[in-house]
C-alpha cells in the first residue's frame, strides 16, 4: 500500500525538491541553478531508537514549468507507529558543505511528536552531480525552511507539502565548519576523522560521522 501517512511525517522525502527550488540569496546557488535538475540525492535518517531509513532520488532534469522529474526509492525501517505521529510544523535549517567537485554533504535534525513524546532523527544528505562550468557555490550554504504544512488525502492517495525555503552563505560561506578542514587546493571541505586522533576521543569504539563522531560501548558498559 502507498505509505502516504508515513510520508506526510517525513519532510525528508521532499528534500531534493526544496533544495532545488529554494530562493538563492547573494552568492548562494540552489539545486536547480547548480545542476539544471540532473543529480542524485541520497538521504539517511538515523532515529534515536536505532532504525535507519534510506531515501534515494535520481533527478532527470526539470520540465518547462520547472517541475523536477524524480525516480525515488525508500528502504529501511522507522519507529513503530510513526505514520500516526503528529508532525511538528516547526522551522528547521540544513547545512550544505561542498565536499568535492560535484558533491555536497548536508545535515539536519528532524523532530516528531508521537504519543506525547518528542522523537528526533539525524538526517544526512549526499548530493552528486556533474560539476558545473563557471562560478562555484560557496563552500558552505545554509538552507532555512519556514511555514511548513503537510497533508495526505487517502481517497486520492495525494500527498501535499508546502513550505518556504531559501539558501544563503552568510558569514560561513568561505570557511569550513567545525569537523571539516579545507582540501589542499582550498576549494572544498574534507571531513576530519576524529577517531584517528591520539589520544582517542572514545573509551571503547569510535564511529566517524561527517563533521562529527560518536562513541559506542559494549552492552552493560557506560561511555
**Domain at 45, CATH number:** 2.40.155.10
Mention every residue, 6+ apart, whose C-beta is less than 8 A from residue 52: 44, 45, 46, 76, 77
pLDDT tens-digit readout, 163-175: 899 999 866 657 8
Q: Among residues of the chain, what percentage have pLDDT more than 70?
A: 87
> What is the Cα gyration radius of the chain?
18
Section 102-119 average pLDDT: 82
Give phi and psi for 71, each to the nearest 5: -105, 125
Domain-embedded: residue 190 = no
Within a domain: residue 12?
yes
Distance, CA of 179 to CA of 134 (rounded, Å): 28
Q: Which domain holds residue 124?
A: 3-177
Global pTM value: 0.85
Q: What is the mean pLDDT of residues 12-21?
A: 88
The verdict on residue 21 lying in a domain is yes
Q: Give the total number of structural domains in the chain.
A: 1
Do the domain assignments include residue 47?
yes
Q: Is 70 exceeded by the pLDDT of residue 1?
A: no
Element containing residue 15 per DSSP (H, E): helix 15-21
**Beta bridge partner(s), residue 38:** 60
Instruction: Assess if residue 27 is contained within a domain.
Output: yes
Residue 217 falls inside a structural domain: no
Higher pLDDT, 66 or 122: 122
CB 189 within 8 A of CB 168: no
Mean pLDDT over 210-221 rounds to 79
The answer to whether residue 185 sits within a structural domain is no
Residue 211 inside a domain? The answer is no
Q: What angle do CA 218, 219, 223 make, to 5 degrees?
A: 55
Amino acid at each position: 500500500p502507498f505509505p502516504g501517512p508515513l510520508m506526510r511525517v517525513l519532510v525528508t522525502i521532499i528534500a531534493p525538491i526544496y533544495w532545488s527550488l529554494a530562493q538563492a540569496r547573494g552568492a548562494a546557488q540552489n539545486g536547480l541553478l547548480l545542476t539544471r535538475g540532473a543529480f542524485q540525492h541520497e538521504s539517511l535518517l538515523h532515529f534515536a531508537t536505532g532504525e535507519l531509513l534510506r531515501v534515494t532520488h535520481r533527478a532527470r532534469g526539470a520540465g518547462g514549468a520547472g517541475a523536477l522529474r524524480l525516480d525515488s526509492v525508500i528502504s529501511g525501517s522507522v519507529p513503530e507507529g510513526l505514520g500516526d505521529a503528529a508532525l511538528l510544523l516547526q522551522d528547521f535549517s540544513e547545512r550544505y558543505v561542498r565536499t568535492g567537485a560535484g558533491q555536497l554533504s548536508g545535515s539536519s535534525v528532524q523532530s516528531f511528536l508521537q504519543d506525547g513524546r518528542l522523537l528526533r532523527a539525524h538526517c544526512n544528505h549526499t548530493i552528486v552531480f556533474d560539476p558545473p562550468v563557471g562560478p562555484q557555490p560557496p563552500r558552505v550554504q545554509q538552507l532555512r525552511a519556514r511555514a511548513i504544512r503537510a497533508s495526505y488525502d487517502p481517497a486520492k492517495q495525494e500527498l501535499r507539502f508546502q513550505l518556504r525555503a531559501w539558501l544563503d552563505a552568510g558569514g560561513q560561506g568561505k570557511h569550513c565548519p567545525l569537523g571539516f578542514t579545507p582540501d589542499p587546493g582550498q576549494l572544498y571541505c574534507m571531513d576530519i576523522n576524529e577517531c584517528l586522533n591520539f589520544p582517542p576521543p572514545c573509551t571503547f569504539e569510535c564511529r566517524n560521522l561527517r563533521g562529527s563522531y560518536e562513541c559506542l560501548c559494549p552492552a552493560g558498559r557506560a561511555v
